Chain A
Amino acid sequence: MQPEICPYPGLRPFTEEESIFFKGRDMHIRHIIKLLEENKMAFITGASGDGKSSMVYAGVLPNIRAGFCKAKYNSWLIADFKPEKNPFLSLCESISEQLEISKEKTQSELKYGFSSLAKLYKESPFYTDGEQGKNLLIIADQFEEMFTNLENFSNGKPSDESYITINLLLETIRLSVIEKLPIYVIFTMRSDFISQCTVFKNLPEYIAYSQFFVPQLKRNEIRQVIEEPAKLAGGSISPRLTEIIINNLNSGFDQLPVLQHALNMLWKMADNGAVEIDLIHLAQIAGISSDALSTEDRAKFNIWFAELPEYQQKYYENPSLDNILNAHAGILYESAYDYFMENVPWAEKNITPEESKEIVETVFKSLTKTDNKRQVRNRCTINEITGIINKPHITNATVCGVINIFRTPENTLLQPFSVPGRLDTQYLSGDTVLDVTHEALIRNWKLLAEWATEEETFLKDYHDFATQMNRWLNNNREEQYLLSSGTYSYFLNWYIANTPNPYRFLKYDNTKNSYRQKLKLAQNQYENCIDFIELSDQAIKAQERSKRRKLMTAITVLAAFTVVLIMLTGWAMREQRNATEVAEYARQQADSALIQKERALRSQEMAEKANRDAGRQRAQAQVQASIAKNARDEALRAKNLAERRRYEADSLKTIALLNLQDAEWQKAVADMAKHDAEEQARIAREANDSATRLYSVAMSNAMAMRAKSEYGDKKLNLRIAYTAYLLNKRNNVTQNNAELYDAMLYSMEINNLVKPLKTTNETVVAFTIDLADRIILITEHGRIIGYNVLDRKAKEFVNISDFVSHDQIHNAIFLSPELIIYSTINKETFCININQRWQKKLSLQGDYVKSAMLTPDGRFFVAAYSNGRIGVFDADDPDDKPEANINLKTTIADIYCYGKSDVYLLTRNATLKRWNFKSNISQEIFSQAEVNAYAMTCIESKKLLAICFSKGDIQFLDLKTGTKESDMLGAHNRIEKIVYDNKSRYMAMSSLGNRISVINSNHINSKPLVVDDFLLHNFPVKNICFDSYGTMFVLTEENVIRYFESDITVYADFLSSLKVTELSQQEYSLILGQNFSSK
């Protein structure tokens, strides 16, 4: 009987099922079992890649299950776990599953540490007096994750969860020994982490008590590894091949993975063991030179080799055992494109062979990272990799399809592995985590080693760049912290060569944040990166311009400035009386300032004169004092007179000093007057500039209004709108102008330039836009179709009919691009997960779902039904009982989830409540009399909840303080839907009368841009979404998706590309000077 399975697993570890072929470690397995029997524990350490996990799962465990370990009972419970990001939870999950106790109870019991675990076991039905009980074996595999994961160990300190886990395991071992409980614990850990174990109390003592260091295999053991699996499977390996493999095998890192991979390839090359495996097979997998073959075998080899494609032959240039893995991976890399084209039914074949290689390169670069100067594995989801590739036509389906050749059972270089004939294992959802099967691949595939080095260089440059950027950010983005010319040039080249994006930054975020938070931070980082480079560019250019300007003489500048000023003033006087008046007023102000200045000068002169007089008087006083002094010397008789004169002189001196102070004060007043005059002159200049801009805006608005008039030639409307845009642009009026936007859209619409996206003919119930800017929609029959939007066309990339509904769908809501909730006309509500391909009926029914939203952590979603019932559901198991529910017994208008467990509930009768579904406490925030409420959203950047009332007004509520903020008029009619886009910061409201108003939340008081009923073909709006560029997509009752740019410049550039020309001066005068019939 020939086994179908290969006895050598290749790079992946042995499974328990494959333990029948696990050889070479028999002595070691017996020793570990003996440790368990005597000490109740075994702490297995060893170097990376020396097969610790394989030895436990394919060696120790099967022997234990087989009854070769002395124990109280004959059956075993195996609770194995890896610490991962929370060792306590991982342990609890495993124990809960084995002891058949709920997770909650297990956690609440084990959190007390010490004897809790032993107590749980003793209280379980598996600990009995008879023979029917079960021994408990706990396996803590890859225990080094206690130190390698930042969540478990940072700054030299273990987390609380790590500590409690160790406490539980060690105390359980102690009690098992003392009380002779049949509980056993196995740890596996990389030996380089031994020294760090000292941070846990008692752990070093327990390690010393029961450590097993996995020894390197001896020659005869390697021989067993090579020969015995083949014998067990009914095959054989020639002794000479065994000897050559043993001799060529390098000691140290990767010895076993390289050997197992080579044996796996040899087995397949020898017709799955049907013939004796020999030297020629080793030569055929590029493991030995054909020179080592016999003449006969060499001839066979040469014939076989000549038929290989040229790209494969190059991998045989330097044959060796290490080269086998390099050649295998290299050949897969080169054949990935052909495999994709021939074997992948689910993806569009819209990539080139070079792009296929680029995808493979990005996948493997993403799956490796440098850790302490060592290139190691880095798990990544397909979503993240597709994000890093960042090409609209390369989707998750394409990435999954291209790399599938690395996942097949014959290759198994990437996991998860695929199974032939099972599409569910071949097509992977975007959430699937990919991983390199073994780090030996990184060290032995030369190309991957090069890629990993490139990635390391990228990371180093990124860190340097981030250091400079953070300095700039930490100093309020001050210009002096921007990049200098040399470093700018270096980092610009780095940026162009690597084209980083948020997903690439995300890869290097090692914080404890959630994935969503990390992604958000990465997006911010990316935006900052763009700003930093652009602003540095601008600053450098400005510096260069400044230098050039210095070359011009001041006289030329002054003359030119004067000429321009005169021209502008003259032009402004001719064209706009208002501007002239403002200018005149400014001049008057300037004149007035000059008069004040003259007055001040006169005051200054007077003060100076007074100062001079005072000086003279002081001099005279001094003379008189001198005379008085002389007189005193001359005659005592004159003493009284002299003293009197001296007093007079002192008085005069005081007066003179006062005069001097007065003069100085007068001078200060004059300086202030002068400064005031200069300030007035500056204000006048600014008023002049502002008047010019206002005039330009007025003219642009006038033109815009003319663009909505009827002429014989519809293209003229386009030209008028375009001219109006240019008028604004030339005067640096850059912000969106509602009139101009209206005119531009109108003129494009009548010229049939605003076209809807062509999607399905079926009635679309709802749609959304994912992170890659693709449209995902659901039809009234439950079909889910995805479209890439490229060149203003929608191209289908996925069409899923798994969930086609018997009943017509009444309404649907996208909770996220992959999670949909919908109600049928029979008021049955379901939830679909597109990626995981399931559909579950919600456990709460009774009416149509009116509003629904995911909680920010993505674990739950809240669904509100029209009849006032609200339920909170587990996003993974919505068919389970709701986590919480409430019945408001009134019509629901909208809901909004905030924080971990708060939900804002808005009722049609305009009452807003906050409900905490964890504590089930609800609190009324406010109630508005005599109006109805219809919708709400949150401006997340400002934490403002916007609530829409029946008269078109919007009330803002500060979610941080719970206080009402200002209100505004969002529309002139009832607002029925409101949407806020966090990236573009746009808020869109559709109102009764089939209009949409769009407001930039950064300029909330500016006039909204309006898409009116004419542009919506007078159909009501069903759904609004924004893409990452701020483009608004609108689904109407007409069953079409229309899209509108939120930046008028996009339309202007489009018109420019159509060669639409500006009006001539003559046409311009004619259009503004004549009265045309208005539409």
Chain B
Amino acid sequence: MFLNLYIKSSKVFLAEVTDGLQKMRSEVKNILLRAGIEVIEPVNTAETNVENLMLNADCSMHILGNDNIIDNDSPVYDTPSAIQYRTAKGLTDGNFKMFVWNPSGIINDKNLYINDIRRDINDNTIYSDITSPIVFVEELRAIMNIKPSAKTDAKNYDILFIYNTLDRDSAKEVSNMLADLQTVTELEINAGADTDYNDFIQNQLPLCKLGIIYYDYATDWAPPFAQQVWKQTGGQSASTPLYIAGNSDHADETQLKPLKKIVSYTINEKSIIPLDIKIYYDKITGKTS
């Protein structure tokens, strides 16, 4: 079920704040605790101590006000809040996440530096100017609660050869011919089976050198299946290329729209298809130019 009632326990490093934001920080701390999040606070402001504390936490949280904490010439540049911000920023190059909160939501003449902070956001920085601390904490908890997808027993294969039950006989012939040229692992998709193919393919395909989707009679199934696999495994950015092979007895190019634009394919006689696959395999693995 998509409704997750269980919250993963997280640790948040709650950074120091500049003057005028103490009350807000205290309020946020209480909200974090009631949200079931452990709050880690710096006991001394030495940079190494701060970094260790941060690494002991799952993420850090920084509240912004009017004081410029990133400019070298700023009077607060050496204050704990500024130092802790810079330390966390340095850690975001790894997997550490930092949450930056601008509760006023407004960028005025006094806090123009927030524009610079916004321009400096990277993949692990979450910036929010939402006004409600409860909504902000809720978002933080949701982001930290994302479960990594379940891993199945994935293995490294040369070619993962996928086909539908409807094409079992035809696919076996092609697979056997192909096995003479390259190592092949078959995957038969049967709508009536209990297997969660979606999860399986998402985990398995990135470990293969090439994914083949073969079809003959299953013309209704293959194009949407290929689309979903392409989408679930990263599309143009995927590490493992997909190759569609259609038996020209029943397959034709018109069925592949819009896949034709994004995936390599062959529509050919059953006996030729293994050669086409081999040529493509050699091309992507660098055996031929």
- Chain A residues near B118 (CB, 8 Å)? 240, 243-244, 292
A587 at the interface (CB under 8 A from B): no
Instruction: Kindly identify, within residues 221 to 268 of chain B, every residue whose CB is under 8 Å from any CB belonging to chain A.
Output: 221, 224-225, 227-231, 234-237, 257-258, 261-264
What residues on A are CB-neighbors of B142 within 8 Å? 218-220
Task: Tell me, yes or no, whether B166 is within 8 Å of chain A by CB.
Answer: yes
A457 within 8 A of B: no
The answer to whether B228 and A71 touch across the interface, beta carbons within 8 angstroms, is no
The contact sample of 28 A-B pairs, CB cut-off 8 A, is: A17-B257, A19-B231, A20-B258, A20-B262, A23-B231, A65-B221, A66-B228, A66-B229, A67-B191, A67-B225, A68-B197, A74-B190, A75-B220, A131-B165, A131-B166, A218-B139, A219-B139, A219-B142, A231-B236, A232-B235, A233-B236, A234-B236, A234-B237, A239-B123, A240-B118, A244-B118, A247-B127, A247-B130
- Other contacts beyond A18-B258, A63-B228: 17, CB < 8 A: A1-B263, A3-B261, A3-B262, A20-B262, A30-B198, A65-B224, A67-B191, A69-B191, A71-B191, A74-B189, A74-B190, A135-B191, A219-B126, A220-B143, A231-B234, A243-B121, A291-B107
Known contacts A27-B2, A132-B166: A62-B224 contact under CB 8 Å? yes
Distance of A235 from chain B, by nearest CB (Å): 8
**A72 and B191 contacting across the interface, CB-CB below 8 Å:** yes
For the complex, what is the distance from the CA of A243 to the CA of B126, rounded to whole Å?
Answer: 7
**Complex CA–CA separation, A69 to B224 (angstroms):** 13
| B235 and A233 form a contact (CB under 8 A) | yes
Contacts of A18 in B (CB 8 A): 258
Q: Are A65 and B146 in contact (CB under 8 A)?
A: no
Which chain A residues (106-161) contact chain B, with CB distance < 8 Å? 131-132, 135
Contact residues in B for A67 (Cβ distance below 8 Å): 164, 189-191, 197, 221, 225
B129 within 8 A of A: yes
Closest-CB distance, A321 to chain B (whole angstroms): 13
B164 near A5 (CB under 8 angstroms)? no
> Given contacts A20-B231, A131-B166, are A3 and B258 in contact (CB under 8 A)?
yes
Answer whether residue B94 sits at the interface, using C-beta atoms and an 8 A cutoff: no
- Chain A residue nearest to B259 in the complex (CB): A20
> When the two chains form their complex, are residues A74 and B164 in contact, meaning their CB atoms are under 8 A apart?
yes
Least Cβ–Cβ distance between B211 and chain A, in angstroms: 14
A71–B227 Cα distance when bound, in Å, is: 20
Taken together as a complex, chains A and B put the C-alpha atoms of A2 and B261 apart, in Å, by 8
What is the CA–CA distance of A232 and B120 in the complex, to the nearest angstrom?
A: 25
Contact B166 A74 (CB under 8 A): yes
Q: A20-B235, A28-B2 are contacts. A68–B228 as well, Cβ < 8 Å?
A: yes
Q: What is the bound-complex CA distance between A274 and B237, given in angstroms?
A: 14
Please name the residue on chain B nearest to A221 by beta carbon.
B142
Contact A231 to B257, CB < 8 A, known contacts A65-B220, A67-B197, A218-B142: no
Known: A3-B236, A20-B227. A294 touches B119 (CB 8 A): yes
* Nearest Cβ on chain A to B274's Cβ, whole angstroms: 23
Which residues of A lie under 8 Å from residue B225 when comparing CB positions? 65-67
* Residue B152, interface by CB 8 Å: no
Q: Is the contact region of chain B dominated by helix, strand, or loop, or is it mixed?
A: mixed
Whether B227 lies near A66 (C-beta < 8 A) is: yes
Query: Which residues 70-96 of A sit at the B interface, judged by CB distance below 8 A?
Result: 70-76
Nearest chain A CB to B280 CB, angstrom units: 13
Name the A residues within 8 Å of B234 (CB-CB): 231-232
- Chain A: residues with Cβ within 8 Å of the partner, total of 50
Interface string of B32-54 (1 = CB under 8 A from A): 00000000000000000000000
In whole angstroms, how far apart are the Cα atoms of A240 and B118 in the complex?
Answer: 6
Is B174 part of the contact surface with A, judged by Cβ < 8 Å? no
Contacting residue for B218 out of A63, A68, A75, A218, CB 8 A = A75
Per the bound structure, the CA–CA distance linking A231 and B121 in Å amounts to: 18
Q: Which of B192, B237, B258, B263 lies in contact with A231, CB distance below 8 A?
A: B237
Q: Is B193 an interface residue (CB 8 A)?
A: yes
Chain A residues whose C-beta falls within 8 Å of the C-beta of B263 in the assembled complex: 1
Contact yes or no, A71 B224, CB < 8 A: no
| Least CB distance, A348 to chain B, in whole angstroms | 38
Alpha-carbon gap, A1 to B261, bound state (A): 7
Nearest-CB distance from A283 to chain B (Å)?
12
**Which residues of chain A have C-beta atoms less than 8 A from B220's C-beta?**
65, 75-76
How many angstroms from the CA of A132 to the CA of B167 in the assembled complex?
Answer: 11
Does the CB pair A292–B115 fall under 8 Å?
Answer: yes
Inter-subunit contact B191/A74 (CB<8 Å): yes
Judge whether A279 is part of the interface by a CB distance below 8 angstroms: yes
Q: How far is the CB of B49 from chain A (nearest CB, A)?
A: 29
Instruction: Say which residue of B1, B146, B227, B262 sits within 8 Å of A220 (CB atoms).
Output: B146
User: Does A4 count as interface, using CB distance less than 8 angstroms?
Assistant: yes
The CA-CA distance from A131 to B235 in the complex, in Å, is 31
Contact yes or no, B236 A232, CB < 8 A: yes
Q: Which residue of B lies closest to A291 (CB)?
A: B115
Distance to closest chain A CB from B148 (angstroms):
13
CB distance from A183 to the nearest CB of B (A): 14
Whether the Cβ atoms of A73 and B237 lie closer than 8 Å is no
B22 within 8 A of A: no
In the complex, A549 has a CB within 8 A of chain B: no
Cα A69 to Cα B128 in complex, Å, equals: 38
Determine whether B122 belongs to the interface, using a CB cutoff of 8 Å to chain A. Answer: yes
In the complex, per-residue mask of B150-182: 1 if CB is within 8 Å of any chain A CB, else 0: 000000000000001110000000000000000
- B129–A66 contact, CB under 8 A? no
Determine whether the beta carbon of A73 is less than 8 Å from that of B191. yes
Of all A-B residue pairs in the complex, the 8 with the closest CB atoms, nearest first, are A232-B235, A234-B236, A65-B224, A240-B121, A66-B225, A27-B2, A66-B228, A66-B224
A75 contacts across to B, CB distance below 8 A: 166, 218, 220-221
- Interface pair B128/A247, CB less than 8 Å apart: yes
Residues of A within 8 Å of B229, CB to CB, are 66
- Taking A20-B262, A131-B165 as contacts, is the C-beta distance between A243 and B218 under 8 angstroms? no
State in angstroms the CA–CA spacing of A516 and B260 once bound together.
47
A31 contacts B by Cβ under 8 Å: yes
Query: Which residue from chain A places its CB closest to the CB of B220 in the assembled complex?
Result: A75
Nearest A-chain residue to B127, judged by Cβ: A243
* A293 contact set on B, CB distance < 8 A: 119
Q: Does B73 contact A (CB under 8 A)?
A: no
A residues near B192, Cβ cutoff 8 Å:
70-72
Q: Which residues of A contact B81 (CB under 8 A)?
A: none
Distance in angstroms between the alpha carbons of A239 and B128 in the assembled complex: 13
CB distance from B19 to the nearest CB of A (A): 25
Residues of B within 8 A of A131 (CB): 165-166
Contact B2 A19 (CB under 8 A): no
Q: Which residue of A lies closest to B124 (CB)?
A: A239
Residues of chain B lying within 8 A (CB to CB) of residue A28 = 2
Question: Which of A34, A76, A220, A243 has the most C-beta atoms of chain B within 10 angstroms of its own C-beta?
Answer: A243
List chain A residues, Cβ under 8 A from B237: 231-232, 234
Asked whether A240 and B119 contact (CB < 8 A) given A3-B262, A4-B261, the answer is yes
Whether A243 pairs with B125 at a CB distance below 8 angstroms is yes
- By a CB distance below 8 angstroms, the chain A residues around B119 are 240, 279, 292-294
Interface residues of A in 808-864 (CB under 8 A from B): none
Cα A240 to Cα B115 in complex, Å, equals 11
On whether the beta carbons of B235 and A74 are closer than 8 Å, the reply is no
A50 to B1, CA, bound (A): 21
Give the most central of A4, A28, A67, A135: most B CB within 10 Å. Answer: A67
Task: Point out the residues of chain B lying under 8 angstroms from A279, CB to CB.
Answer: 119
CB <8 Å contact, B218 and A74: yes
* Closest residue on chain B to residue A21 by CB atoms: B231
> With a CB–CB cut-off of 8 A, which chain B residues contact A73?
191
When the two chains form their complex, are residues A20 and B127 in contact, meaning their CB atoms are under 8 A apart?
Answer: no
How far apart sit A76 and B219, CA to CA, in the bound complex (Å)? 11
Name the A residues within 8 Å of B264 (CB-CB).
1
Which of B123, B126, B193, B231 touches A70 (beta carbons < 8 Å)? Answer: B193
Residue of A whose beta carbon sits closest to that of B229 = A66
Query: Given the known A-B contacts A65-B220, A67-B164, A67-B197, are A20 and B190 also in contact in the complex, defined by CB atoms under 8 Å?
Result: no
- Could you tell me the distance between the alpha carbons of A632 and B261 in the complex, rounded to whole angstroms? 141
Q: Which residues of B contact A239 (CB under 8 A)?
A: 121-123, 125
Closest chain A residue, CB of each to CB of B168: A131
A462 to B14 CA separation, bound complex (whole angstroms): 63
> Could you say which residues of chain B place their CB within 8 Å of the CB of A244?
118, 127
